[in-house]
Chains A and B, each alone.
Chain A
């Protein structure tokens, strides 16, 4: 009996770090500090940085890619990947332009068809990745080509512009001083995080990403969990495509197709594990703000825009190396080439 009481007491003891929940948010706090530090440096480096207009621009630039990145976060937590997010977004915007502008469909009908397209793409990605055992990396790489090609074929490579005013609200509307895309992005971030952290589905997704075999053996329907993740990712890309086309007042096969790099970078910088089983959308939100800030800062400092891609790519590599070092999978001395170490 004494043993039992001792065990119960031990099991319910909580260290101070756990009591305040700080250890769980360590990575988020570090990222927030990094963003604030960068903002401080840039506000001294450029008089234009800390203006309402510029900060609104950063928020707007973050929004479309951010919505996609949130979808990518869900999938990566489950241990899967979707390389077709950029082309899904491009196809969604193009299809919306084709249906609403060229074919004259009502906005609601056009949006519903585009969302249905996202549903189909998610199902196709999920089906081939989960039922044919072809890795999602390959399936979605193929889908990247298919969807991007379809977007160009549908419009013969032309840009279709001139959405009705009511549709453009999606990209240009404001609630008070806050742009609607920013509100959509923030709402999606919060909503998805609530699902991940508060629902049974969230627990099952983390379990599946952490140990797929164990999840299956305790009765979790791994395929159902991951299929929903594929669908959520595609649907969010579709939403991002609608917002982008409304912002640009046009649809074209190339719009947003380059955003894959930024979305992946945001998710990885945000702390989502490449091996699955860990991550959250608030990290992704901070990750995309960091990337948008760096890009914005480079422009304000007069650096050649082509360096932006180099910076984002380098940031991905740095984030992965830091993550592996923190987890103890990599020692700082491993980073030095053998010859240098000798």
Chain B
């Protein structure tokens, strides 16, 4: 996916200034930056949650225009947001299939949902007590894992994970990172937005740094250091 010269303003505030971003098939890119750097604006534009004032998007070499998140979903672009991921009143299987519930003779095909959810979660080595359990009964890490599984199911082209470990404890955060690493062999492109540089260095192939609405650097993981990235984030090095 490519975002070319994208601009976005909210009133007088310039949230995104001439941002050009690219991610290749199967690549995992981390977007880092301070609060207000423009990370959320960029990923919202990539999913169609908001529209850019100028610039264009390309997916698989073709120009695309996402007016809503449904448009991007149809082309296999999904996002997992920090606190908006799941409907807690519903089961794990229902959450995995949310938005694309299978039916048979107009009836919801629960058997299929439960079977395929169990297979999907199993293939990603995600442990939940039961796919029929309400997600409200799961731990934070399990909930995040279910949200990632759902995103993976519909996001065959690009998955965007917004702060996937922010609200989790150390152990649960590590488990979620294991799942992200497990996804890397599946030919899906992954964008991880995170403040945690240790986590970023563990899962990303490339790190993109944003500051003040601009993309100020892009480094391959092997060619950079934490200190280098921190300098880019705070603006002591270009």
A5 an interface residue at 8 Å Cβ cutoff?
yes
Please, which residue of chain A has its CB at the minimum distance from the CB of B107?
A198
Q: Are B108 and A198 in contact (CB under 8 A)?
A: yes
A contact residues around B123 at 8 Å (CB): 4
B contact residues around A277 at 8 Å (CB): 87-90
A200-B121 contact given A214-B87, A277-B87, CB 8 Å threshold: no
* Minimum Cβ distance to chain A for residue B172 (Å): 16
Q: Are A14 and B132 in contact (CB under 8 A)?
A: yes
Of A215-223, A241-249, A260-268, the one touching chain B: A215-223
Q: Are A7 and B98 in contact (CB under 8 A)?
A: no
CA gap between A13 and B133 in the complex, in Å: 10
Number of contacting residues on B, CB 8 A?
A: 43
List residues 219-236 of chain A with CB under 8 A from any CB of chain B: 219-221
The contact string, 1 if C-beta is below 8 Å from chain A, for chain B 123-147, is 1111111111100000000000000
Q: Are B88 and A211 in contact (CB under 8 A)?
A: yes
Q: Are B98 and A214 in contact (CB under 8 A)?
A: yes
B contact residues around A13 at 8 Å (CB): 129-130
B contact residues around A7 at 8 Å (CB): 121-122, 124-127
Please, which residue of chain A has its CB at the minimum distance from the CB of B70?
A219
A173 an interface residue at 8 Å Cβ cutoff?
no
List residues 1-38 of chain A with CB under 8 A from any CB of chain B: 3-8, 10-15, 18
Please, which residue of chain B has its CB at the minimum distance from the CB of A13?
B130
List residues 92-111 of chain B with CB under 8 A from any CB of chain A: 92, 94, 98-101, 103, 106-108
Contact of A10 among B98, B106, B129 (CB under 8 A): B129
The interface residues of chain B, by DSSP majority, are classed as: loop
Please, which residue of chain A has its CB at the minimum distance from the CB of B49?
A217
B contact residues around A209 at 8 Å (CB): 89
A contact residues around B58 at 8 Å (CB): none
B contact residues around A220 at 8 Å (CB): 98-99
A72 an interface residue at 8 Å Cβ cutoff?
no
Q: Are B89 and A200 in contact (CB under 8 A)?
A: no
Contact of A218 among B49, B128, B133, B150 (CB under 8 A): B150
A199 an interface residue at 8 Å Cβ cutoff?
yes
List residues 181-203 of chain A with CB under 8 A from any CB of chain B: 198-200, 202-203
Please, which residue of chain A has its CB at the minimum distance from the CB of B118?
A11
Please, which residue of chain B has its CB at the minimum distance from the CB of A194?
B107
Of B5-13, B33-41, B78-86, the one touching chain A: B78-86
A290 an interface residue at 8 Å Cβ cutoff?
no
A206 an interface residue at 8 Å Cβ cutoff?
yes
The contact string, 1 if C-beta is below 8 Å from chain A, for chain B 55-70, is 0000000000000011
Residues of A within 8 A of B (CB): 3-8, 10-15, 18, 198-200, 202-204, 206-207, 209-211, 213-221, 273, 277-278
- Can you list 28 A-B contacts (CB < 8 A)? A3-B125, A4-B123, A4-B125, A8-B118, A8-B122, A11-B121, A11-B127, A11-B130, A12-B114, A12-B131, A13-B130, A14-B132, A18-B130, A198-B108, A199-B103, A200-B101, A200-B108, A202-B108, A206-B90, A211-B87, A214-B85, A214-B98, A216-B69, A217-B49, A217-B69, A218-B99, A219-B70, A277-B87
